[in-house]
Structure 1
Amino acid sequence: MLIGEYGKFVYLTYFGSAMALLGIYFILQGQLVWGMSLFIISGLCDLFDGMVARSFKRTKAQEQFGIEIDSLCDMINFAAFPAVICMTQGKITWLAIVLAIMYVLAAVTRLAYFNRETKEERQGYFRGVPVTYAALIFPVGYLLSEWLVAGSFGIVVLLLTPCLAFFFVWDIKIPKPNKKMYIFFLLLAIVTLVALWSL
C-alpha cells in the first residue's frame, strides 16, 4: 500500500516537474535551447493541470492532495529551475548566486502566500505575479538576447532574476487568466518554441 492519492488528475502536474528536472539537466550541460524548451513545456503543464484535474471526479482528499502537489512542484519548476539558470548563465558568478538565492526566497514566499489566500478566499485576481510566468519570461528573454546580441543572456539573466523576484512579492493585483489569456499563453509558448529552434 502506498501513501498519497493517485490518478489521472495529477499526471500532468507530475509530467511538468519531470520536464523541469530534465530541463535543469540540459541547462547544466550547456544546452540552453533544450533547457528553455522544456521550461516552457513545464509552464504549459502548470497552466493547464488545474483545468485537467477539475475535469475528473475527485474526492475532497484527492482535491486537497492535488493542490499541495501543484504547489510543491511549482517550487521545482519555477523556483529551483530559474535559480539554476541564473547561477549557471549569469556573467558575474557571485552576483548570480546572490540573486538566485533572493529569487528562490521570493518565489517560495509568493507560493506560501498564494496557498494561504487560496484556502481563505477565492478572488478573481492574483496578488503578486504568479511564479509560473517565469516559464515564458526566461525563455523569451533568452531568445531576444540571442537575436539582439548573441551571448548577452549572461547579462540579461542578471536583470531578469531580481525584477521577477520583486514582482513575485509586490502587492499588485494581476487578473487571473480567462479563456482568451489561456489561448494567448499557449500561442506565445508555441511561437517561442519555434523561434528557439530556429536560432
Structure 2
Amino acid sequence: MIGYYNYSVILTYIGLASAVYGMVQAMSYNPRVAILCLMVCGLCDAFDGAIARTCKRTEDEKSFGMQIDSLCDLICFGVFPAIIGYGLGIRSIGGYLCMFFYILATVIRLGYFNVQEMNRVQQEGEAKRKYYTGLPVTNVSLLIPCFILLDIFTKRSFIRLYNIALLLIGMAFLSKIKVRKLYLHGLIVVACLSSIVFFLIFRYGGNIICLPVSTTPV
C-alpha cells in the first residue's frame, strides 16, 4: 500500500475518525455528540505534533505528515463545523452561503499556512514558530462549543446566529491578526478549559434544540 505508516500520525487519524462519526451524528440530529466529537478533534490536533516529534522520520515522512495533518484539518475544522450547522437546522440561502464561505476560508487558510511553513523551515530550519498569521482553524474546536454553551444557558436562541458565527470565524481565518502559538504550558491550560466545556456540553447538551427547517431565518 502507498503511504507512510508509523505512530506519528495516529492522533491525526483518530481525530479524522471522530469528525466522520460526529458528522453522522449531526445529520442524525444529535448535536451534543457532534459537538463533543469536534472537541475530540481539537484535542487530537493539539498533541499530534508532540507525538510526531518523538518519532524518527525521514524528510518524506515529515512532508507526508504535514500534508495529512492539513487534509484532516480541512475535514475536522472546515467541513465538520458546517455540517453541524446543517444538522442544527441552518437551511436558508444565507446560511448556505455562510457555510460555503467558511469552508472556502478554511481551504485558503490551510493552503497559505502550508506555503508559509515550508518557506519558514527553509529559512529558519527547525526553530520553533512563535506566532500564526490569522486565526488557526483548530481554534473552532473550542470556539463553537463555547458558542453552543451560550445557547444552552442563556436560552436566547444563539443557534439562529450560527451561520453568522461561521462567517465571522471564516473572516478571522483570513485576517492578518497575530496569534501566539501555544506550547506545553499553554496547551495544558487550554486542555483544562476544554475539559470544563466538554463536561458542560456532555451534561447539559441535551438541551440543544435544532431549529425547525421551515422557520430558519436568512
Aligned to 2:176, what secondary structure does the other structure show? coil
The 2-side partners of 1:143 and 1:26 are apart by 18
The 2-side partners of 1:79 and 1:6 are apart by 25
The 1-side partners of 2:18 and 2:194 are apart by 15
Aligned residues: 197
Aligned to 1:57, what secondary structure does the other structure show? coil
Q: Match for 2:149: what amino acid? A: L
Shift of 1:92: 5.6
Shift of 1:139: 1.2
Residue pair 2:78, 2:102 contacting (<8 A) in 1 also: yes
Q: CA RMSD in A?
A: 1.3
Shift of 1:42: 0.6
The 2-side partners of 1:47 and 1:149 are apart by 31
For structure 1, the residue ranges without an aligned partner over 5 or more in a row are: none
Aligned to 1:182, what secondary structure does the other structure show? helix
1:24-43 pair list within 5 angstroms: 24-43=23-42
RCO higher in 1 or 2 (8 Å CA, sep ≥ 6)?
A: 2
The 2-side partners of 1:21 and 1:159 are apart by 24
1:44-123 pair list within 5 angstroms: 44-91=43-90, 93-121=92-120, 123=129
Aligned to 2:75, what secondary structure does the other structure show? helix
Q: Match for 1:19: what amino acid? A: S
Q: What is the match of residue 177 of structure 1?
A: 182
TM-score (norm 2): 0.86
Residue pair 1:107, 1:168 contacting (<8 A) in 2 also: yes
Residue pair 2:31, 2:88 contacting (<8 A) in 1 also: no
For structure 2, the residue ranges without an aligned partner over 5 or more in a row are: 122-128, 205-218
The 2-side partners of 1:115 and 1:52 are apart by 20
Amino-acid identity (%): 32
Q: What is the match of residue 145 of structure 1?
A: 151
The 2-side partners of 1:104 and 1:178 are apart by 27
User: Does residue 162 of structure 2 align to residue 157 of structure 1?
Assistant: yes
Aligned to 1:70, what secondary structure does the other structure show? helix
CA displacement, residues 30-52 of structure 1 (integer Å, 9 cap, x when unaligned):
11111100100011101110111
Shift of 1:197: 1.7
The 2-side partners of 1:27 and 1:193 are apart by 17
Q: 1:57 to 1:145 in 2, by over 3 A?
A: same
Q: Which has the larger radius of gyration?
A: 2
